[in-house]
Structure 1
Amino acid sequence: MGQTLRLGRVAGIPVGVHWSVLVIMALLVQGLATSVLPTSAAGQPAWAYWTMAVAAAVLFLVSLLAHELAHALVARRYGIRVQRVTLWLLGGVAELTDEAPHARADLFVAAAGPLTSVLAGAAFAGSAVVTTVAGAPAVLTAALIWLALINGVLAIFNLLPGAPLDGGRVLRAVLWRVRGDRDRASLAAARAGHGLGLVLVMAGLAEVLFTGRLRGLWMALVGWFLVSAATAEEAGARYRSMLGQVPVREVMNPYPLSGNPEQSVGDFARTVASRAHHRAFPLRDWYGRPAGVVRLADVARVPADARERTPLSQVATQPDQVPVVSASRPAAEIAPALARYGLVLVVEDDLLVGVVSEADMVRATELAGHS
């Protein structure tokens, strides 16, 4: 999940937001200002509703960020590397580079987010009691009550037992502990998430068809996301079960065609992109270090008359937004990053030595299945 706007770092972890957050912000503010707050605190001026709606929406995003940072910070406690935390349309995501070292760590990392949401909900509920006793404006109390409820709903929803929800991670940790097999536990959690997603899709579409309420589309969208993410997680679990500890260097393409960040888009299209049927290419600087990824879609967006004066660095995905792994790392562990980005850069002694695409992983698993 790429970050449109970087907000800075918390404990060294890059924090940012995706552009789709604007959508959820607009929906939240509109719903709060025109429906939720006027119903809960009637008789207030319109400006009060809109002002409080904006404040409540911002506080909700802050609580979402706290939820994801809790995952990230607990993960760091167990030596799991965190690439970044990003807020987006359907909530947030803490992107972890490594797998949990054991079931206990997996459980604590998964539970940290919902626990944070419960604590946030309790804090907002307590604040609502204080404002009521203090005689504060009713619209403020209404906003605090909404924040308490929405954080409670967030915690409950995330604890549903299906990956990639936190409840799915908890389920995986418990099964891992009981069965002693992380791969089987991951497969079970992913399949549960797939089933849960299908139920949400069907329930959302049924609500639209039988009641005419368009909010069902939102439920269907969430369900579709769960199905997609669970499918990727199931593929990752299968990679782990088939590849075991096979290192990335045995799966990667060691001779990838690459561009240079200072190279013009036009020159790259003629000398590199035209020589292969790939849709994404790594960039390396003059020292041989990874310098990002450029996709054909990025090249296509540059007007023809501007390609000779536009450097690849201007249109490419920047290095800190691209997964980079060591050649000695087990290939199965890069499956989540590969599912998200489609291409993983491989380094040795800080130099780019290869890339891994989804096609490379499929080929490796097919060979493993025949060995």
Structure 2
Amino acid sequence: MNMKPIPLFKIFGIQINLDFSWFVIFFLVTFTLAEGFFPHFYPGYSFIVYWIVGAVSSILLFVSVLLHELSHSITALHFNIPVKNINLFIFGGVAMIEEEAPNPRVEFLVAVAGPLCSFTIGLFFLVLVYLYPVDDLLNGIINYLMYVNFALGLFNLVPAFPLDGGRILRAIIWSKKDILTATKISSFTGTVFAYFLIFAGIWSLIKGNFLNGIWYGLIGLFLKQASKISYEQTKLTVILSKYRVENFMQTLKPLLPDETVLDFMNFYFPFYRSSIYPVIGKDGQVYVLYIEDIKKIPQEKWAVTYVMDIAKPLVAFVSPYDSLYKAIKIMNRYNLNEIPVIYGNTILGIIRKSAVELLLEKFMEEEKK
């Protein structure tokens, strides 16, 4: 069972969430610092002090990761690219940027913002190291945060999609070719780098370095899967962005508020067979009738139950000129199989997820030939 992430707070309207897997890496980083790094370089302190300092350093590490992801998100928002949330999890953090960049330049700027932020933080702590040259645990925390931010920036610059370096590589190739070709090439480099990490993990295990071996292997497997998924998502976006809702919607006549559930079941449902149906309220607003709600009403009461008695406010809709990609994204966001198509104040019809899926199936079959 997948557990929902813990909502923490919002920054610039972006929801920050904490995945339960974060606690695993938090413990491992704290353990490594408290039992290895700090005792080795800063001896003479008690067990409890090392663990407190290790925990503080781990939290500050994730603050650095959060700032890294925020820099991506704020840059994306600057270019009107929506950002759903930022999730902190076992492999660090990820900004859930909902749309592809509109052009290679924006892609480059959004991607490079993260490493630049990490390098800036690293330089800040480098200055602090020289301003506070005392050989104590505070100096140790400063040194650790300096190294880890430089390492975070450098690791993300590896040209392996979906790392920032891979996105930068994609932007460069995209400026010369199309986005799908650019994503395919950068995803290949991501897969190659993932296999490198996996083999590095196996080698570390053979050499007896169990912890490093496990982490190299896990990160490699994660990047391999993420690279494949990112390419498939980009391909999906490119395909669906070529088509408009108006070409795939089913036109219909909306229900009026004085019509009954029996009217709907007799004259509308047999023809349209939709799980939702738009209703125009007496206030001129659009409401939605759900088949699931009708099933809860005894049939003998259908004739005396008006559609407005059980209709619910409109949750989401699309324009006929929206792309199929936007339509499927909205349906997935609200867990809908059908969604009304509205232009201005006029209800034009509905579009079904099944129609979009049929198009994708046809495209995939033609691609295999």
Which bin holds the TM-score, normalised by the shorter protein? 0.7 to 0.9
- Write the letter of the residue equivalent to 1:160: V
Pairing of 1:303-322 with structure 2 (within 5 A)? none
TM-score by length of 2: 0.73
CA–CA distance in structure 2, aligned partners of residues 325 and 87 of structure 1: 32
Q: Which residue of 2 aligns with 1:95?
A: 96
Q: Does 1:15 align with 2:16?
A: yes
Q: Does 1:156 align with 2:149?
A: no
Q: Which residue of 1 aligns with 2:45?
A: 44
Among residues 176, 179, 184, which one is paired with 2:181 in the alignment? 184
1:96-153 deviation per Cα after TM superposition (whole angstroms, max 9, x unaligned):
1111111111000000011111111111222222222xx4x61111121111111111
Q: Which residue of 1 aligns with 2:170?
A: 172
Q: Which residue of 1 aligns with 2:244?
A: 247
- Write the letter of the residue equivalent to 1:76: L
1:257-290 deviation per Cα after TM superposition (whole angstroms, max 9, x unaligned):
68xxxxxxxx99x99xxxxxxxxxxxxx952645
Unaligned runs of at least 5 residues, structure 2: 251-271, 277-291, 297-309
1:229-249 deviation per Cα after TM superposition (whole angstroms, max 9, x unaligned):
111122234335555512367
Across the aligned residues of Structure 1 and Structure 2, the Cα RMSD in angstroms comes to 3.7
Corresponding residue SS for 1:26: helix
How many residues in Structure 1 have an aligned counterpart in Structure 2? 312
CA–CA distance in structure 2, aligned partners of residues 34 and 353 of structure 1: 58
Q: Which residue of 2 aligns with 1:32?
A: 33
- Structure 2 CA distance for partners of 1:255 and 1:147, relative to 1, 3 Å: farther
Pairing of 1:34-113 with structure 2 (within 5 A)? 34-113=35-114
1:160-204 deviation per Cα after TM superposition (whole angstroms, max 9, x unaligned):
10111000000011111133x222111111111111112211221
TM-score by length of 1: 0.72
Q: Does 1:330 align with 2:323?
A: yes
- Structure 2 CA distance for partners of 1:50 and 1:69, relative to 1, 3 Å: same
Pairing of 1:121-136 with structure 2 (within 5 A)? 121-132=122-133, 135=134
- Structure 2 CA distance for partners of 1:249 and 1:5, relative to 1, 3 Å: farther
CA–CA distance in structure 1, aligned partners of residues 123 and 110 of structure 2: 21
Among residues 212, 215, 219, which one is paired with 1:215 in the alignment? 212
Q: Which residue of 2 aligns with 1:287?
A: 312
Sequence identity (%): 26
1:307-352 deviation per Cα after TM superposition (whole angstroms, max 9, x unaligned):
xxxxxxxxxxxxxxxxx987754345789999x99x7766446999
- Structure 2 CA distance for partners of 1:129 and 1:23, relative to 1, 3 Å: same
CA–CA distance in structure 2, aligned partners of residues 221 and 249 of structure 1: 44
Corresponding residue SS for 1:183: helix
Larger mean CA deviation between 161-170 and 349-358 belongs to 349-358
Unaligned runs of at least 5 residues, structure 1: 259-266, 272-284, 292-323
- Write the letter of the residue equivalent to 1:195: V
Contact 2:337 2:353 in 1 (8 A): yes
Corresponding residue SS for 1:162: coil
CA–CA distance in structure 2, aligned partners of residues 358 and 219 of structure 1: 39
- Write the letter of the residue equivalent to 1:118: F
- Structure 2 CA distance for partners of 1:197 and 1:33, relative to 1, 3 Å: same
CA–CA distance in structure 2, aligned partners of residues 198 and 336 of structure 1: 32
Corresponding residue SS for 1:164: coil
Q: Does 1:144 align with 2:142?
A: yes
- Write the letter of the residue equivalent to 1:183: L
- Structure 2 CA distance for partners of 1:232 and 1:357, relative to 1, 3 Å: farther
Q: Which residue of 2 aligns with 1:234?
A: 231
CA–CA distance in structure 2, aligned partners of residues 287 and 115 of structure 1: 47
CA–CA distance in structure 1, aligned partners of residues 113 and 198 of structure 2: 27
Corresponding residue SS for 1:140: helix
Q: Which residue of 1 aligns with 2:203?
A: 206
CA–CA distance in structure 2, aligned partners of residues 20 and 195 of structure 1: 26
Structure with more relative contact order (C-alpha pairs < 8 Å, separation 6 or more): 1
